[in-house]
Amino acid sequence: MSDCLFCKIAAGEIPSNKVYEDNLCFAFYDIAPQAPSHFLVIPKAHISSVAAIDSENSNLVAHIFEVIAAVTASEGIDSYRVVSNIGEQAGQTVPHLHFHVLSGRDMTWPPG
Ligand code: AMP
Ligand code: ZN
């Protein structure tokens, strides 16, 4: 999608602090971290949110979760939270599917 911030980050057109990249997904540190370690994992293909996951693209989500497991393990992170906000009321500000991976501090439940 031409006017999408995260499409541009995944394509390297906007700089980011990259954590991981392969042909299907891209991971980078959040510009406004909400925990000592806070990175985002996104598909390179434009998907607007979890609400747009279907049988045609759900393989990307499975892949992203494999990547989350592998990257956290390689960084020695053994406790973390994975969050995806869907829609305005839930706090989604960038309309490109992304999974927040937060760690390094005690977390509360329920989330705010
Ligand atoms: P959400 O509010 O759930 O849609 O998450 C979007 C996240 O993207 C927020 O945590 C922002 O801090 C983060 N963000 C926005 N712009 C950038 C950027 N240029 N580089 C890294 N993270 C960003
Ligand atoms: Zn996009």
| Alpha carbons 79 and 93: distance in angstroms, whole number | 25
Residue 94 token pair: 């960038």
pLDDT > 90 fraction of the chain, expressed in percent and rounded: 97
Ligand nearest to the CA of 31: 1
Residue 111 token pair: 């989330």
- Ligand 1 in contact with 32 (CB < 6 A)? yes
Q: Is the pLDDT of residue 62 over 80?
A: yes
| Alpha carbons 69 and 49: distance in angstroms, whole number | 21
Read off the pLDDT of each residue in 65-94 and give the average, rounded to a whole number: 98
Residue 103 token pair: 């760690």
Whole-number mean pLDDT of the chain?
97
32 CA distance to ligand 1 centroid (A)?
Answer: 7
Of 92, 95, 71, nearest in space to 83 by CA:
92
Q: Is the pTM of this model over 0.85?
A: yes
- pLDDT, tens digit, 9 for 90 and up, residues 91-102: 999 999 999 999
- pLDDT, tens digit, 9 for 90 and up, residues 29-46: 999 999 999 999 999 999
Q: Which stretches within 22-105 are classed as H helix?
A: 58-74
Residue 11 token pair: 């394509």
pLDDT number for residue 112: 86
